Structure 1
Amino acid sequence: MEIRPLFRLAIPLVALMLGQVSSFSITPEELEGRFKQLPTVPESELSAMSNQVTSFRGLIKHDGLTGHTWVSFPFVENPGSFGFDPKGRLYVAEANRFWLGVPDLRGANELIRDDFQAVTVEDRLKMYDKFASSFPAGWFSRVADRLIRLEDRDGNGVADHRTLFSDRFKEPLDGIGFSVLADEGSVYFTCIPNVWKLTDTDDDGVADEEKAISTGYGVRVSFIGHDLHGITRGPDGRLYFSVGDRGYHLTTADGEVHEGSGRGAIFRCESDGSGLEVFCEGLRNPQELAFDNYGNLFTFDNTGDIGDLARMVYALEGSDSGWDMSHQSAHHYATHLDWGDFRPEKSMWVAERMFDTYNEEQPQWVYPPASHVARGPSGVTYLTGESLPEDLRDLFLLANYRGPSEGCTVLTVKVEPQGAGYHAVAENVLFQGIGASDVELGFDGNIYLCDFGGGWSVNENGSIQVAGSKNAEQQANGAKVAALFSAGFDQRDIAELRQLLSHADRRVRQAAQFALVKKGEPGAATLREVAASAKAALYPRLHAIWGLGQLGRLDPESVTTPLMMLLKDADAEIRANAVRVIGDLRLAKAESELITVLTQDASSRVQSLSAIALSRIGKRGDADISSALFSVARENGEAGAPDIVLRHALLTGLDRITEVSTAAEKSGSESKEERLIALLMLRRHESPEAVRFLNDADPQIVREAVRAIYDTAAADTSAGDAVSALGEKARSLPETVQRRVVANNYRRG
């Protein structure tokens, strides 16, 4: 496999639990010595838990909150992430394999060349065997990442009971384990290379059924912490999770292969792992995921403190955010990849500002972030309900991990619509001085912080911190929600569940939605009625739509008419989510109506989701859909400043529907936006037809054409010859694009 040294050069960003370090090799003796740094107390030697309230670590920056320590070492070790079950029991992922079984290229230079060629997890295992002498005997399987379960049985506000839920995660390919979702009677745990479903059938606090429902993640070593994480339950009832640029190579049950070695991505699937999809890609290290009240998915991607910035990403289905592991090469790996003297000072990631919010000079194929937020984004959750002060509601809560505890913060982030997308309008520090790598809103309405303990190595400083409202009424609101979840929802009658669809806490609304889905036709009738009611409030209608989507995955015909009726609703949010669900279900009968929505709806957000929906419904070569997509692209360009989120939604539609020959013919269009989006589609297909755009009158399109050819397999076709033939014309191009022309000539001798 050839390693192309130009188009994907970047400076590495900070991993969750590793500071910025230079590239070097750690000796086997040094690696062996690190085992002595692991602070652990054998299970048999743990003393009884004190069950005493102790002071809060760090600073609370809100007058309406108070806090304390919920549990600390040795009853929790190296906590990286956590999640509550409906009974209020906390499952904590202990990241003990950090540098103790999970390597990092920056400390294992001998792996670099082989790592860049790894495509499957089996390739990585072969690499470990090849370089076994570089590691102490048994180094890859001596320490286990673990899941523990903690409870506050007497309700005094601190943990008083602990069990070791599972400690099986110690195979050479395992780790680091990060992110926990406990619901529907099971615990989902993401630990490279698997997504695990763990079940405690007798409720003794120990998993007795363990099944990998999806596998093939982490094909490379890359940076430690760029792992499998972020697992959450979407409003559609599916599992959503993410992987960093350690990449993936997945084969579904029907034989479909998804490959992204060296790229981060977001995935979704059913609870048993079926129906797996790559939702979006080109991310670096999207630690965690969170939905807002309207069904929109967000993630926060890391920075490397090298001139780039951390990114809040509105996760748009089918989008490509531009990151590839090879962006790190110029800054850490160049001397190990035999580049000779050809080493640019900046990677393309930085030099072309691929990390930045939108501007016309950056590569247009990259889906830009919504905003720049934080410096070391890690765990994230959404604050919902009425258990917290009013100014802390309907916000994202984000762990901003910066190494030493004193430099770490937890932020609130307020997000508002902007065209077809979103942007952050406020970012405030809520907690300071706690090495929080994850955050959760407990069912009791309190905020819980997963305190790794600070720093970049295993330690004995870990704890779980908790903070809640000082207001008695708000505390009572949290207690009521906890009681609802503890009792469960499936046994409640339809009238009560319908009422709960209007609850202030989105988690209650979602649980009521899921319970109605299980009620058969009576539940379905309620969902249809609520969704169609113009008199009903927005939130219950949205949950009814999502519930119909769940039913539709079992019987699409039963929900087609109710959903299509909503395409003309007066509320844009209703139309947007009806479109989204229709696309998810691939309801072919709705094609003509969706084309009308795409071309005529007044909301750019509704248009963007319509483009994606049509891309799921139509087939390659559908001329009606393709024509509509190009028509909206032209109108988007005529708006003066194109809506970039809409552009990328249209691009996904074209990518999945339009023939390459049709896109190539757009090189003669009078519309710049139409020419540009056609070229971007050709890039996704790595088509040599991009050559048609090399002589475009617009410099932006010429730049993009050079990138589309040199950056892809098209470089090894006649299109690459055309790039070499640019000659003097290349002088007017930006330096980063000129470098592609020069390198292209070098490749041809």
Structure 2
Amino acid sequence: MPAKYGFFEPMLFTLGVVLASATGTSAIAAPSSVEVRVITSEKAREAAESVENAQVVKLAKGIKVDLWASDALVDDPVAISMDSAGNAWLTVTNRSNNSEFDIRGWPHWEADTLSFNQVADRRKFLREYFSSAKSLGADDIPDRNKDGVHDWRDLAVLKEEVLKVSDTDSDGLADRSQVVLKDFSDEVSGVLGGVYYDDASDSVFLTVAPNAWRARDTTGDGYLDEKTSLAEGFGVHIGFSGHNMSGVTMGPDGRIYYGIGDIGAYITDLAATSTITPMKGSSCAVSPTAVTSKCLPAGFAIRTSSPLINTGI
């Protein structure tokens, strides 16, 4: 494989950067119609048996695996979080590999992307590369917004989704799924790669570069209608798909943790700006109430002078 980024050198940092309160709260537009899938208990059982019979899973003695939710309810989920009521909160990506890029498919972008220092640089590059002045065609970028022009605006059409999957009759098989959020379609939006539902605050924490988000249902209608940006500036570079934001969970200290791979971050919130070296990954923690957040750069530095060794994060 030809070199893309250089090799990733393990490097541990002990300097923490404390960020002030991020209060970037905005409304999420309600859908014109509620997207719900419901199947009967019989259909759920048939789907489970069909999938289980088609799979050959070798298990240790005493271990049993049962299918809880089939593709009749969920298509290709990315991340999952379970709440105390037994509901599954799932993320589904529509942007991966079409509105969000993998550098291996665009090797001629390498020099450009390595020059980026913040997400604004990536945004500027995409707008220039897919400029309407270039008279691009369908082979360059699909006309997703149907305006008759193939340009960067077609990167701002497809949205990421959050689904809530439930077993409404408590028979051990999921029978209902609902899209509870459809959002994140900026031209620099990445993949919705992480989700964590916090029972105490009744909030859903999401990671989709360039932001870390907290989403809430403030009206009780089952749809997440409010989002708060806890921090922004993740995903400086166009790198390997899958090295984006992910891994959302709650730590033993009660804070929400998440991170990003080796495509860099330049962290910004409404109160202050702090630079995390854009050539490295980082791990971050935030209180569920988003009073403060803290990011610690760590992981793998990018060196362009050596052949690529893709060690991952």
Q: Residues 141-190 of structure 1, C-alpha deviation per residue, up to 9 Å, x if partnerless?
A: 23222110000111111111111011112221112111111012110011
Distance of 2:117 and 2:65 partners within structure 1: 46
Runs of at least 5 residues in structure 2 that lack an aligned partner in the other structure? 10-32, 131-135, 143-149
1:144 — aligned with what? 159
Equivalent residue in structure 2 for 1:197, among 211, 214, 219: 214
Runs of at least 5 residues in structure 1 that lack an aligned partner in the other structure? 13-41, 284-322, 332-346, 356-375, 378-749
Equivalent position amino acid for 1:129 in 2: R
Distance of 1:268 and 1:11 partners within structure 2: 24
Taking the TM superposition and a 5 Å limit, the aligned residue runs for 1:266-285 are 266-281=283-298, 283=299
Q: Is contact 2:231–2:268 with CA below 8 Å preserved after alignment?
A: no
Equivalent residue in structure 2 for 1:176, among 172, 188, 191: 191
Q: What RMSD in Å do the two structures reach over aligned CA positions? A: 2.8
Taking the TM superposition and a 5 Å limit, the aligned residue runs for 1:633-712 are none
Equivalent residue in structure 2 for 1:161, among 176, 201, 213: 176
Equivalent position amino acid for 1:51 in 2: A
Taking the TM superposition and a 5 Å limit, the aligned residue runs for 1:186-585 are 186-281=203-298, 283=299, 323-326=300-303, 330-331=306-307
CA pair 204-65 structure 1, distance change in 2 beyond 3 A: farther
CA pair 272-130 structure 1, distance change in 2 beyond 3 A: farther
Equivalent position amino acid for 2:302 in 1: M
Q: Is contact 2:284–2:294 with CA below 8 Å preserved after alignment?
A: yes
1:71 — aligned with what? 69
Q: Residues 351-375 of structure 1, C-alpha deviation per residue, up to 9 Å, x if partnerless?
A: xxxx7xxxxxxxxxxxxxxxxxxxx
Equivalent position amino acid for 2:99 in 1: G
Taking the TM superposition and a 5 Å limit, the aligned residue runs for 1:16-55 are 48=39, 50-52=43-45, 53-54=48-49, 55=51
Distance of 2:215 and 2:240 partners within structure 1: 27
1:131 — aligned with what? 129
Q: Is contact 2:195–2:248 with CA below 8 Å preserved after alignment?
A: yes
2:14 — aligned with what? none
Q: Is contact 1:97–1:176 with CA below 8 Å preserved after alignment?
A: yes
CA pair 172-272 structure 1, distance change in 2 beyond 3 A: farther
CA pair 103-139 structure 1, distance change in 2 beyond 3 A: farther
Equivalent residue in structure 2 for 1:9, among 6, 9, 12: 6
Distance of 1:258 and 1:178 partners within structure 2: 23
Equivalent position amino acid for 1:196 in 2: W
Task: Give aligned-pair identity as a percent.
Answer: 23
Q: TM-score, normalising length from structure 1? A: 0.33
Tell me the SS of whatever aligns to 1:114: helix
> What is the CA distance between 1:255 and its match in structure 2?
2.4
Distance of 2:72 and 2:34 partners within structure 1: 10
Equivalent position amino acid for 1:205 in 2: G
**Larger % of strand: which?**
2
Q: Is contact 2:37–2:177 with CA below 8 Å preserved after alignment?
A: no
Tell me the SS of whatever aligns to 1:232: strand
Equivalent position amino acid for 2:141 in 1: F
Equivalent position amino acid for 2:301 in 1: D
Distance of 1:264 and 1:98 partners within structure 2: 20
**Larger % of helix: which?**
1
Q: Could you list the runs of 4 or more consecutive aligned residues of structure 1 that deviate by over 4 angstroms after TM superposition?
A: 42-47
CA pair 154-222 structure 1, distance change in 2 beyond 3 A: same
Taking the TM superposition and a 5 Å limit, the aligned residue runs for 1:52-63 are 52=45, 53-54=48-49, 55-56=51-52, 57-63=55-61
Q: Residues 58-113 of structure 1, C-alpha deviation per residue, up to 9 Å, x if partnerless?
A: 41422212122222224212211110122211100112211121011111133222
Distance of 2:113 and 2:71 partners within structure 1: 36
Q: Residues 678-702 of structure 1, C-alpha deviation per residue, up to 9 Å, x if partnerless?
A: xxxxxxxxxxxxxxxxxxxxxxxxx
2:102 — aligned with what? 104
Aligned length: 261
Distance of 2:242 and 2:8 partners within structure 1: 16
Q: Is contact 2:38–2:176 with CA below 8 Å preserved after alignment?
A: no
Distance of 1:73 and 1:172 partners within structure 2: 29
Q: TM-score, normalising length from structure 2? A: 0.74
Equivalent position amino acid for 2:115 in 1: Q
Q: Is contact 1:60–1:66 with CA below 8 Å preserved after alignment?
A: no
Q: Residues 247-285 of structure 1, C-alpha deviation per residue, up to 9 Å, x if partnerless?
A: 10013455241222131111112224443222341x2xx
CA pair 47-122 structure 1, distance change in 2 beyond 3 A: same
Distance of 2:252 and 2:38 partners within structure 1: 42
Distance of 2:160 and 2:273 partners within structure 1: 31
2:20 — aligned with what? none
Q: Is contact 1:95–1:145 with CA below 8 Å preserved after alignment?
A: yes
Q: Which has the higher contact order (CA 8 A, sep 6+)?
A: 2
Tell me the SS of whatever aligns to 2:65: strand
Equivalent position amino acid for 2:69 in 1: V
Distance of 1:253 and 1:228 partners within structure 2: 20
CA pair 44-149 structure 1, distance change in 2 beyond 3 A: closer
CA pair 64-188 structure 1, distance change in 2 beyond 3 A: same
Q: Is contact 2:258–2:284 with CA below 8 Å preserved after alignment?
A: yes
CA pair 72-143 structure 1, distance change in 2 beyond 3 A: farther
Distance of 1:44 and 1:192 partners within structure 2: 25
Distance of 2:286 and 2:35 partners within structure 1: 39
